[in-house]
Structure 1
Amino acid sequence: MMDTQQAPIKDILDQITNPNTELYLSQSYKGFLFTEPVKYKTVHSDQIHLMVNHKVFCFCHTKDAILHDQMYKSKISGQVASFDMQSGSLFFQNVQPRKDLWVNRKELRIQPQETLVAILRTRGEYFRGCIDNLSLHGAGFLLHVSEINDKLPKSEQTIALQFELSDEIKLLISGKITNIKTLSNQLFGIGLKLNPDEKQQALLSRYLQTAYQNMLEEIDDEYRKLLEPRAAVDLYF
């Protein structure tokens, strides 16, 4: 049974079970955040049973997601245990209160389909890594420990990020480091705030929109495959 005696979970569950509370489930797919309205049904064992209004493919099994109200005051992080696309029934498991500041994204953010190798320039130092996610005014930079000569760059440090969107589009965008996280004993994740000029914004916007459309087409393809009747060879062999 879910331990609702823990105050943080119980307080959030009390709000979630309130029929006047509008609930949403958010999950990231290749960097883009999908948010769908959901309805609370009940608690089964250690799982929260929800109903999804729009049966979208983005709710991936075992992937992390956030259950929250409209203003993000009540937040529960967890994983999608199962999702029935036909009925819209979804079970949410491994729940725990989300204490960090987490708000809705104001910009389109994607994970590049191809590897974007980048150079992070600081004062007198260069760090080679790759871009994990990208938006118009931000980026996630992955840095392997082997690329660190002396020490990590510091938060709030001014930087320039150099990378190529194609053979013809080469960018060098100024910005600063907003946060640094240890992802493993070999890998660091560095959050960047970018300050592109007008021309750079136009190039980035075109790239992001193209990547977004490609991702939607990929999701549509997967959705159609799931809805297609299974062939006889799949049923018997």
Structure 2
Amino acid sequence: MTAQLFDLQAVSVQFGPVRVLSACTLRVQAGERLALVGSNGSGKSTLLRTLHGLVQPASGRLAHDAQARQAMLFQRPYLLRASVLNNVALGLWLGGACWKQARAQAQQALERVGLADLARRNARALSGGQQQRVALARAWASKPQVLLLDEPTASLDPTAKREVERLMAEFSEAGMTLVFSSHNLGQVKRLASRVIYLERGQVVADLPTQAFFNGPLPAAAELFLKGELA
């Protein structure tokens, strides 16, 4: 039986007077590759942050598998003004590893994402694509079972996008559950097994990827796919 990692029942999130998520019901199973799509302001980032425990629901119920380790990759990863190696090692050290062990594990993680030769470089001097791969290494080093990604290839050039997508696919093939937001529908087709369409904080469509792109869909989701949604 496949493990259930997240179970949201009518979850709403409010920032002051603004309701950002509205009565969202959603389940995520282990091994899924779940894409969140929708226009800017539809609630994708807030939903990811809610799943990661960074935002608390105003109402509804959120249950999660407390035994499943998870990590989150933000659209613009924050890197310290330090070496690439130390940026990855610090999180492991804060998690309880001794510094020597943390650096050894960080080196392995950099090798995993193809950045071992840049370990001594200042992380903030890297290109956008390289910085995103450092963030992926930092996430992978903690051995998460769930990886949440907020627009992981936004603003990257095509080569960097392909490299990040390759790593995401490899992580998934190794058994990691992926939940990611994306405006790149080609990327969604390539990586996702299931698509959630959000509009104004509500889940409007929840379908396997093939069904989502081949219809039929609710009218709003159909307009979004055609690029006609206001």
| TM-score, length basis structure 2 | 0.25
User: If you compute each CA radius of gyration, which structure gives the higher value, 1 or 2?
Assistant: 1
The structure, 1 or 2, with the larger RCO (C-alpha pairs under 8 Å, 6+ apart) is: 2
TM-score normalised by length of structure 1: 0.24
- Which structure shows the bigger proportion of residues in helix conformation? 2
